[in-house]
Structure 1
Amino acid sequence: MLVAKLLGSSPLVTNATHTCSFINSVFTQSLRWKRKPIWLPTAKTKVFRVPKRPKIPEDEFKEIQRLYNNYRTYLRSTLKYFKEINKQNEIQLDPAVIEKAEQEDFEKCNQINDEWNKQIAADREIRLAKENEEKRLKIMLNIERQKEKKKLLQEQADDKIKKLKILSSTIITRKNIDEAIENALENPINYNKAINIDGEWYTEPTGIPPPKIPVTTDVQTEQARQ
């Protein structure tokens, strides 16, 4: 603990940390040495010290010089390129240039939009013409169907009229009622018929009166009951 206190109070030691606990503990300590402050003078041991000039071989010196020249060339080229880019950006960021570019872009977009509208209008005209033709054909087909339906109804009506005209000769009216009565009396019809298992009809001969059914009165019925 005493060592940690001494290190923490030293002006040449910074960021010194220490931890210490009781039994079965681990003691950790970190130190970071810092440079001499800038306001302190040169040390007395280094005031009159003259550093030796390094001796570089001629081949190595030429290689270093070549690399340095290449570095300066690349650096000047890069700086010049950045300056040109900066000038171009200044020109591009000019409000007049920006407004002109926006106007040109608007005109270009408007031209493209007009071309699209013309193409869409042409396609729409073709589509509408096709739809109108299909609609016309459908209407004509419906008209033909209606004509055929009316023709069929007219034929059916004509057939009914013909049948009624044929039957009109047998209709009894006020004019021919006497004639119809005389005809019925002269040509009696017997409806007493029978049929056998073979499907043959047996009819009574005409001119024979039907069997008489005895008629009983109420008095006779009461006497029969008594």
Structure 2
Amino acid sequence: RLHNNYKYAHILIVIYIVTASLCNNRLQMRSLRQYFREEVLRLNVTTTADHIVLTPEQEEAEFARCMQENEAWNKKIADERNERLLKERERQAAEIRERLEAARVREEERMERIEEIVRREKELAKTFITHENLETAIEQALANPVDYNFSIDLQGNIYRGRTTLPGGKGTPATSGVQDTEVQQTIEASN
């Protein structure tokens, strides 16, 4: 008996689903019919009002008028395009001239720098030690020794040479331009 109740409930559920599906299908079909009715009415209204029958002569005249209008538009657009292209070519030519002028100026400046370097090197070449003046250069270097060693105390006194004693004892250097430059640099940094 319990088994029959389950069968009965199952049948009721199936009937409910089929009924709901059928109602849904009817609603969809009703919506489609209404849409098609409105579409047919719209087509009937627009085709009767918009459709004007022309004779072949009228159609030929209308076609010729449309062709003339199209040719006029094409000519106008072609003139505008040619004018635009001419302006573009002029602008590009001016830009190219400017670039060439800038490149020429840069090249001239580069050549001037190169010539200046060559002039300086030629001047320095006069002081280079060659095989011919090697003996003279050695004699000059031995006759005039240069000592680049120096120390500076807290007061800014400069002690030149290797003969200064540790602790700042020794003779302060008083020899000219380089010492004053070092002194000015020390004062500027303080």
Q: Give TM-score scaled by structure 1 length.
A: 0.44
Residue identity matched to 1:180: A
Aligned partners of 1:191, 1:202: CA distance in 2, in Å?
A: 11
Partner of 1:174: 131
1:150 matched residue in structure 2: 107
The one-letter code of the counterpart of 2:56 is E
Structure 1 residues not aligned, in runs of 5+: 1-91, 209-226
Instruction: Indicate the residue corresponding to 1:99 in structure 2.
Output: 56
Query: How many aligned residue pairs are there?
Result: 112
- The equivalent residue for 1:119 is 76
1:195 aligns with 2:152: yes
After superposition, the C-alpha distances for 1:118-163 in whole angstroms (9 at most, x for unaligned) are: 1111111111111111111111111121122112212221222222
Q: Distance in 1 between matches of 2:136 and 2:129?
A: 9
C-alpha separation between the residues in 1 aligned to 2:107 and 2:124? 25
Matches within 5 A, 1:203-222: 203-204=160-161
Distance of 1:201 and 1:166 partners within structure 2: 34
Q: 1:129 to 1:198 in 2, by over 3 A?
A: farther
User: Cα offset for 1:200?
Assistant: 4.3
Listed as ranges, the matches of 1:1-226 within 5 Å are: 98-204=55-161
TM-score where L is the length of structure 2? 0.52
SS at match of 2:154: coil
Q: Distance in 2 between matches of 1:168 and 1:197?
A: 42
Distance 1:127-1:150 versus aligned 2 partners, 3 A rule: same
Q: Which amino acid aligns with 1:172?
A: I
Query: For residues 171 and 135 of structure 1, what CA distance do their matches in structure 2 show?
Result: 53
Residue in 1 aligned with 2:16?
none
Aligned to 1:5: none
CA distance in 2, matches of 1:187, 1:140: 60
Identical residues among aligned pairs (%):
33
Which structure 2 segments of 5+ residues have no match?
Answer: 1-51, 164-190
Structure ID, larger Rg: 1
Greater fraction of residues in strand: 1
- What's the secondary structure of 1:119's corresponding residue? helix
Give the residue type in structure 1 aligned to 2:93. Answer: R
Taking the aligned partners of 2:56 and 2:80, their CA distance within structure 1 comes to 36
Match of 1:218 in 2: none
**One-letter amino acid matched to 2:109:** L
Distance verdict in 2 for CA 1:99–1:132, change over 3 Å: same
Alpha-carbon distance in structure 2 between the residues aligned to 1:135 and 1:187: 67
SS in 2 for 1:194: strand
- Give the Cα–Cα distance (whole angstroms) in 2 for the partners of residues 170 and 197 of structure 1: 39
